[in-house]
Structure 1
Amino acid sequence: MDSRRIGENIACWRGRRRLTQTAFGALMGKSKRWVQDLEAGSRQADPRLSVLEAAARVLSVPLAVLLSDTVDEPGDQADEMEAIRAVLHRHDIVTGTAPDADPLDVETLRRSVHHAWRLFQSSAAFTSLGGRMPGLLTDATQAAALHEGDDQLAAYRALSMSLQLTEALAVKAGAPEVAALAGHRAVLAAERSGDPVIQASAARHLADALTADGQPHAAAAFAQATAATLTDRHAPAAARAVPDLLDQADEHAAQLPVDADGNALFTAFSSTNVALYRVATHVKLYEGAAGAAVAQALTADERAALPRERRAHLLTDLAHAYTQAGQREKAVDPLLDAEREAPEEVLGRPRTHQLVQDLRLLGAGSGEGRLRALAERCGLPA
């Protein structure tokens, strides 16, 4: 490895992330002088891999970017998750078989799935939902195996929606491999249901899972191929840019009747939710100031119309955006607001824990005391 080139890459990305040498050193647990030596390539002839991995995490770039000859922008609980992982690997769940017994009737199954999704969107019980999923997945799998005719199609719809919920929970829990597995199974169940709306919903969730698993290009390709199949059109030769796709979503949202159910299939689809994804996209691209501007343009009524989980998600992304924009003191309030909206969105998500830890290391001005109390509620070490 060329230590000088690596140092230049780190310095470049540190600048893009609007981090001073002192701030970057704090996040690395090192001194400003240590950072100066690292960026100059004089720290050591062959930087340790562990150091480079830590730097890549702090800078939010793949390790390969720091090792590259260029500095171009890259294309980019526990117990409950273990129980979900175990049930997804069970023979009967994988093969879709069931013992010779009376399956749950499809209306009861539908209500159970609907209730679980409502709990998810209310953010009242992310953790307890994880404990419910093995039973729900078992009931849905058995119903799909044993029912016939229209009841079987309804059971497959319920099974797909159960797996999509599993995917969403796994993403929030920081378990991308579980999310991808559940996402793939959800697509297969949706295909068997024959319902194009369920198929589109499953494709959306699989794309989300693939993105969380570090495969954004595969996610975009799959989503576009599904859209082309469902609309009987050929897929475009090249992927559209994310802003163009969001613009299209805005156009569709604007066409919804005033009294339309914007939460069909628990999508919370609306112009406000499209704006939420714009904020998330800016954060993902490390464009914090732009993301904060989009979030601030939403009115209180628009935010209130979102489910609690969506409101909390928007607030945590706003906190990320403020942090990226160097306005760390302003990042504390949206985190606390998100905690009030949906405690587990803040207290139970690894992604948010990391933000709280970073803010503690960088300093949050007058928000230090409230941030310290939040860190304690998150169970983070003092």
Structure 2
Amino acid sequence: MSSHATPDPYADPIAFGQRLKILRTRRGMTRDQFGGLMGKSASWVRAIEEGRLKVPRLEVVLRMAETLRVRDLADLTGDQSVHVDLFTGPGHPRLAAVQAAVNVYPLTEQRQAPPAEHLRARLARAWAARHSAPNHRDVVGVLLPDLIRDAQLAVRQADSGAERRAAQSALAEVYSLSQFFVAYQPDAALLWRVAERGMVAAQDSEDPHAIGVTAWLVTQAHRDSGPGHFDAADAVNLETLAYLEPLLSDAPDDILAIAGALTFEAGYTAARRGETGMAWRYWDQARAMADRLPADYYHPITSFSRAIMGAHGVTIAVELHAGGESVRQAARADAVTIPSRPRRARHRIEEARGYQLDGQPDVALATLAQAHEAAPETIKYNGYAKRIVLEETQAKSPARRRRASDLAVKLGLLAA
């Protein structure tokens, strides 16, 4: 390797501080930014990177890994004897079948594609199953391969412009469902392939709802790639909101809901940047949009609704690292039942992060147990939840260590 090349933290035997610097730089973070997210100074970060301070305690290392969104704890520590997947979950048994369906085009397929109405009915059942099943990835993973192949075939066999646009809209939604399945699994390239194909299909469909949904998911994919990609997330998000804005004065519920979901996402990204005022301003705008929806309305893809705004408030507070405000938002949100099991589990995880920030680790663990009860597959693939559980397996309290260890076993982080 050239002496001028950047070391590879996944291959070279280098010190913890050097690994931290490389991973931080790859995420596009300055020392000030990383230190701020850790509640520390830039000089503290520099001292760690230069080896003037020793490797921090496990709870701090786990928080670093969370902030850097490393794929495996060993990538940061360099200890190859301890592999813990954090933000990349384990590969689902049905991932290979979904990969195969995404990667193959039906160029020589002779069978007749199902009509668009049939695809739409199957999609509706798939979304309903996702929201109601605790093992939602398993349920969706069974349905996706045939849905992907049939939707691709419907686009290829469309006879008219109108039929083709309708088929492209259905295909875009199939790719959106696929992105929910693929997220946090060990195939980042597949995630981006699905996201980009969904955006192309949505644009070809000229369907504002399909365009909004795919933009919502692409925004999340950019943001989850780290601070260096926040501008890209905003570019997709705000451009799509500008496209939808002329439709909103008398928009149907689904268009208003996707615009509201995108507005919240802008606030989410602002919170990740630490922009408190901007984050809450977008949340207020999204809440105003939710208030225009019927009281019992619940968007089948984004979960946007009146019911979800309390959960969104918890997320904003947590991303701003405001523990007390997170707990206050959680108390307000808890009176509302979220219909979707995976979304309910995700909300419980966000609440647990808030309780952890507020110095209430026992409540955080109890809340994570509720998340596991709602949807085990959601918490199993969530890096924040795994970080809290692993941290509490080292707690001084024997009772808390035992509860954390029991949950770690359920999540596959510790052997039974």
TM-score normalised by length of structure 2: 0.69
The yes-or-no answer on 1:112 pairing with 2:122 is: yes
Distance 1:98 1:221, change over 3 A: farther
What is the deviation of 1:152?
3.0
Q: How many angstroms apart in 2 are the aligned matches of 1:203 and 1:309?
A: 21
Alignment of 1:220-235 (within 5 A): 220-231=234-245
What is the deviation of 1:98?
5.4
Residue type at the aligned position of 2:339: L
Q: In the alignment, is the contact (CA less than 8 A) between 1:180 and 1:210 conserved in 2?
A: no
Q: In the alignment, is the contact (CA less than 8 A) between 1:309 and 1:342 conserved in 2?
A: yes
Q: In the alignment, is the contact (CA less than 8 A) between 1:167 and 1:182 conserved in 2?
A: yes
What is the deviation of 1:10?
11
Residue type at the aligned position of 1:272: A
Name the residue aligned to 2:74. none
Which among 144, 150, 160 is matched to residue 133 of structure 1? 144
What is the deviation of 1:368?
3.1
Q: Deviations over 1:87-128 (max 9, x none)?
A: 3333x17xxx45233112222211221121112222433332
The yes-or-no answer on 1:186 pairing with 2:194 is: no
What is the deviation of 1:337?
1.0
The yes-or-no answer on 1:361 pairing with 2:394 is: yes
Name the residue aligned to 1:309. 342
Q: How many angstroms apart in 2 are the aligned matches of 1:11 and 1:188?
A: 35
Alignment of 1:271-290 (within 5 A): 271-290=306-325
Which among 39, 56, 80 is matched to residue 94 of structure 2? 80
What is the deviation of 1:249?
0.6
Q: In the alignment, is the contact (CA less than 8 A) between 2:168 and 2:204 conserved in 1?
A: yes
The yes-or-no answer on 1:269 pairing with 2:293 is: no
Alignment of 1:1-382 (within 5 A): 16=39, 42-43=52-53, 57-58=64-65, 60-61=67-68, 77-78=90-91, 79-90=93-104, 92=105, 97=107, 99-128=109-138, 129-149=140-160, 150-173=162-185, 176-214=188-226, 215-231=229-245, 241-258=278-295, 261-263=297-299, 265-300=300-335, 302=336, 304-362=337-395, 366-382=399-415
TM-score normalised by length of structure 1: 0.74
Q: How many angstroms apart in 1 are the aligned matches of 2:244 and 2:32?
A: 43
Q: In the alignment, is the contact (CA less than 8 A) between 1:176 and 1:209 conserved in 2?
A: no
Q: How many angstroms apart in 2 are the aligned matches of 1:380 and 1:193?
A: 43
Q: In the alignment, is the contact (CA less than 8 A) between 2:176 and 2:217 conserved in 1?
A: yes
What is the deviation of 1:197?
1.4
What is the deviation of 1:222?
0.6
Q: What SS does structure 1 have at the residue aligned with 2:312?
A: helix
What is the deviation of 1:131?
4.3
Count of aligned positions = 332
Q: How many angstroms apart in 1 are the aligned matches of 2:95 and 2:199?
A: 20
Q: In the alignment, is the contact (CA less than 8 A) between 1:170 and 1:179 conserved in 2?
A: yes
What is the deviation of 1:347?
3.3
Q: In the alignment, is the contact (CA less than 8 A) between 1:98 and 1:145 conserved in 2?
A: no
What is the deviation of 1:365?
6.2
Residue type at the aligned position of 1:377: K
Question: Which structure 1 residue ranges, 5 or more long, are not aligned?
Answer: 22-34, 64-76, 234-238
Residue type at the aligned position of 1:100: Q
What is the deviation of 1:314?
0.6
Q: How many angstroms apart in 1 are the aligned matches of 2:168 and 2:38?
A: 50
Name the residue aligned to 1:30. none
Q: How many angstroms apart in 2 are the aligned matches of 1:325 and 1:101?
A: 59
Name the residue aligned to 1:236. none
Q: How many angstroms apart in 2 are the aligned matches of 1:171 and 1:55?
A: 21
Distance 1:153 1:372, change over 3 A: same
Q: In the alignment, is the contact (CA less than 8 A) between 1:291 and 1:318 conserved in 2?
A: yes
Q: How many angstroms apart in 2 are the aligned matches of 1:319 and 1:135?
A: 37
Distance 1:320 1:177, change over 3 A: farther
What is the deviation of 1:316?
0.8
Q: Deviations over 1:186-243 (max 9, x none)?
A: 111111222111211111111112212222221111111112123359xxxxx98332
Q: How many angstroms apart in 2 are the aligned matches of 1:309 and 1:274?
A: 16
What is the deviation of 1:257?
3.2
Identical aligned residues as a percent: 22
Q: How many angstroms apart in 1 are the aligned matches of 2:397 and 2:149?
A: 46
